[in-house]
């Protein structure tokens, strides 16, 4: 493309959700309520894990990081979407858009790694229970979480730096409610072949490793249970892995809808709904999944509630 057909973009316009103006108020209240539930629910999980000594175990150590990641992940996109819906101002500065994309990639990747680490933890607990304390030492668990944070930061920084070197055309309309990386690449005037190569190699390797760890862990868990099948063992496995497995289906199901099953006829509605499921609904459901299906969490919540009544009196 010739240089005169390119322009320096100082801001982007987020076209947002395909909602009629008369329905903006209803959807604003709906998404605001969902965001508040996400924040309060995940912060409640962090509070329970911090206050109840019975939850000071490795499983809840991983869960606390997942809860923090979910709060952060939702906070990257939803507040800006709500502000745009309320003010009808669709603009976002170039620097703000790049920063939003960085943190979006960071917490997407972090969720990916944390789910893999939690799957491995469940595998050791069920398949090698006698060696659990020997294998899952505190130092190893800290290293696993620290490694998840480190590689997620590297992943996000790499893709952000590669995108920031691109020049953008006069068209700065992003057909999304946040600065989605794929949508930004479509607006670039310069060559994006390197970006696409890194996405398919580095991004693909990270996703493949995490998904392989999850699938491998649950295949071994299933094989261990079926070796000597019994109702008691199946119930114990479901109580131990059910919540995590449901979150994995939610997470990878929405990711697959967005990136692996593109919309027919370039329709944006399906992609928008899948993105909303991924960024708004899934982080909101996680606290309910882990608290309602978890006896220890419900017990800790009951104790905290009773203490609150006592202190109130």
Give the domains, in start order, of the chain with CATH numbers: 11-312 (1.20.1070.10)
> Residue 5: its pLDDT value, please?
40
Percent of the chain with pLDDT over 70: 86
Query: Which pLDDT band, with edges at 50, 70 and 90, does 106 fall under?
Result: very high
Torsion of Cα atoms, 48 then 53 then 54 then 56, to 10°:
80
Per the CB < 8 A criterion, the answer to whether 45 and 290 are in contact is yes
Q: Is the pLDDT of residue 148 over 90?
A: yes
Pick the more confident residue, 248 or 232.
Answer: 248
Helix runs in 52-166, H state only:
58-87, 94-127, 132-135, 138-164
Please give the Cα distance from 97 to 9 (Å, whole number): 11
Q: What does the alpha-carbon distance between residue 251 and residue 63 come to, in Å, rounded to a whole number?
A: 15
Residue 244 has pLDDT above 50, yes or no: yes
Q: How many CB atoms lie within 10 A of CB 9?
A: 17
| pTM for the predicted model, two decimal places | 0.86
pLDDT exceeds 50 at position 168: yes
Query: Once rounded to an integer, what is the mean pLDDT over residues 240-267?
Result: 69
Greater confidence (41 vs 270) lies with 41
Phi-psi region of 265 (alpha: psi -120 to 50; beta: other; left: phi over 0): left
Percent of the chain exceeding pLDDT 90 equals 32
Residue 119 · residue 248 · CB < 8 Å: yes
Inform me whether the pLDDT recorded for 222 exceeds 70.
yes
Separation of alpha carbons 135 and 137, rounded Å: 6
Cα atoms in the 13 Å half-sphere on the side-chain side of 63: 30
pLDDT above 80 (res 47): yes
176-186 per-position pLDDT tens digit: 889 988 889 98
Angstrom distance (rounded) from CA 166 to CA 9: 11
Q: Per residue in 264-280, pLDDT tens?
A: 544 566 667 778 888 88
């Amino acid at each position: 493309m010739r240089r005169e057909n390119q322009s320096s973009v100082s801001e982007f316009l987020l076209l947002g959700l395909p909602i009629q103006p008369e329905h903006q108020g209803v959807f604003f209240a709906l998404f605001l309520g969902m965001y508040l539930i996400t924040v309060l629910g995940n912060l409640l999980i962090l509070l329970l894990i911090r206050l109840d000594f019975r939850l000071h175990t490795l499983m809840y150590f991983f869960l606390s990081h997942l809860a923090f990641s979910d709060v952060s992940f939702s906070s990257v996109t939803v507040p800006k979407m709500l502000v745009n819906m309320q003010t009808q101002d669709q603009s976002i500065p170039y620097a703000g858009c790049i920063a939003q994309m960085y943190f979006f990639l960071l917490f997407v990747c972090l969720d990916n790694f944390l789910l893999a680490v939690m799957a491995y933890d469940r595998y050791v607990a069920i398949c090698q229970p006698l060696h659990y304390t020997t294998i899952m030492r505190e130092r190893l668990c800290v290293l696993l979480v620290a490694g998840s944070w480190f590689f997620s930061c590297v992943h996000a920084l790499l893709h952000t730096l590669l995108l920031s070197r691109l020049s953008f055309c006069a068209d700065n309309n992003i057909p999304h409610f946040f600065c989605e990386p794929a949508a930004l690449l479509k607006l670039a005037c310069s060559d994006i072949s390197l970006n696409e190569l890194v996405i398919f190699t580095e991004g693909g390797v990270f996703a493949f490793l995490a998904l392989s760890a999850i699938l491998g862990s649950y295949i071994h868990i299933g094989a261990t249970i079926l070796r000597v099948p019994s109702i008691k063992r199946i119930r114990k496995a479901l109580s131990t892995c059910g919540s995590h497995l449901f979150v994995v289906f939610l997470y990878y199901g929405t990711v697959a809808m967005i990136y692996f099953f593109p919309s027919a006829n370039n329709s944006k509605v399906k992609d928008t709904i899948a993105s909303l499921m991924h960024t708004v609904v899934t982080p909101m459901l996680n606290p309910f999944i882990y608290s309602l299906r978890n006896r220890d969490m419900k017990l800790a919540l009951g104790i905290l509630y009773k203490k609150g009544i006592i202190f109130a009196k």
